[in-house]
Amino acid sequence: MTDLPTYPDLKGASVLITGGGSGIGAALTEGFVAQGAQVAFIDIAEEPSRRLAAELHDRYGHAPLYLKADLTDVDAVRAAVDEAARDHGLISVLVNNAAWDDRHELTDVDAGYWDKNQAINLRHAFFTAQAVAEGMKASGGGSIINFTSTSFMLNIGEMPSYTAAKAGIIGLTKGLAGKLGPFGIRVNAIAPGWVMTDRQKQLWVTEDALNEMLERQTLKHALQPAEMAGPCLFLASNAASAISAQVLIADGGLL
Ligand SMILES: NC(=O)c1ccc[n+]([C@@H]2O[C@H](COP(=O)([O-])OP(=O)(O)OC[C@H]3O[C@@H](n4cnc5c(N)ncnc54)[C@H](O)[C@@H]3O)[C@@H](O)[C@H]2O)c1
């Protein structure tokens, strides 16, 4: 990750990222570590998370703090936020990135599945924000960045519970921005298009599907996880001091 600008205010900042152990989240974790931030990330998947922390230590000389927790467990979320703040100081940047884009048929969804889906795709973003808000208020401000998705804007029909949650992320972003703005806390969302994570490549990327997407993108390259770090760092930094309640679409310019 060499071609991103440096934001001086992110050096030493206490940053917390959900789902930071793999996929786009791993690129975000690296992006903030490369800025010299004090990064903590929450992830349920232990093996890739520990591997990432070790790799980043080797590459940058300091490791992010890995916190193993299930984000659907609100008490565990609160405990992880407390631990991050104990180690790194009050959190000034929160990135709600974790999600679960499980495909589902209408007939297969019961109330338990729906609630679990919402718990990982929407609910945790509220409770992490709740857990960091008082600290941000006490330190005079902060930045919260929530990951949504263009999938619900495109009427993609493979995962209605996920797309409902991702639409909800925008409502949550705007509601929190209104509530927290008077305390100097900015809340924005990033909406990626189709990004070539390992999970996407293993489960859903085919040559035909990718070509179809590239036809629709004005930019004709397959989007990579590292390309989501730039928009996130920008929104986290003071360079975005006038920006709140916005959705930044990073989809290669979909037509
Ligand atoms: N990849 C894409 O094409 C794409 C497109 C649009 C939006 N997005 C959004 O970008 C963000 C990142 O997507 P991604 O593709 O990297 O996702 P991913 O599924 O590859 O990674 C999600 C991470 O969250 C972690 N996680 C999942 N459930 C958890 C739980 N219960 N507790 C703790 N950690 C948990 C996973 O272990 C993983 O490290 C998501 O919000 C997603 O909706 C991604």
From the CA of 21, give the closest atom in ligand 1. Answer: 39
Determine the residue of 147, 166, 169 to mutate for testing ligand 1's pocket, defined as the one with the most ligand atoms within 8 A of the Cβ atom: 147
With b meaning 16 or more CB within 10 Å and e meaning fewer, what string describes 124-135? bbbbbbebbbeb
Q: How far is CA 222 from CA 22, 213, 216, in A?
A: 18, 9, 11
Instruction: Report the C-alpha gap between 228 and 6 in whole angstroms.
Output: 15
Distance of CA 72 to the CA centre of its chain: 15
For all residues of the chain together, what is the average pLDDT? 97
At residue 199, the pLDDT reads: 97
From the CA of 71, give the closest atom in ligand 1. Answer: 32
- CA distance between the termini of the chain: 29
Residue nearest to atom 18 of ligand 1 (CA): 23
> Per residue of the chain (255 residues), what is the pLDDT tens digit?
668 999 999 999 999 999 999 999 999 999 999 999 999 999 999 999 999 999 999 999 999 999 999 999 999 999 999 999 999 999 999 999 999 999 999 999 999 999 999 999 999 999 999 999 999 999 999 999 999 999 999 999 999 999 999 999 999 999 999 999 999 999 999 999 999 999 999 999 999 999 999 999 999 999 999 999 999 999 999 999 999 999 999 999 998
- The domains found in the chain, sorted by start residue, are 8-198+225-247 (3.40.50.720)
At residue 98, the pLDDT reads: 98
At residue 2, the pLDDT reads: 61
Closest Cα to residue 253, out of 209, 213, 212, 198?
Answer: 213
Residues with catalytic function: 162
Residue nearest to atom 11 of ligand 1 (CA): 97
Q: What are phi and psi of 10, to 5 degrees?
A: -85, -15
At residue 3, the pLDDT reads: 84
At residue 1, the pLDDT reads: 65
Residue nearest to atom 43 of ligand 1 (CA): 99
From the CA of 194, give the closest atom in ligand 1. Answer: 3
Instruction: Report the C-alpha gap between 21 and 7 in whole angstroms.
Output: 23
At residue 255, the pLDDT reads: 85
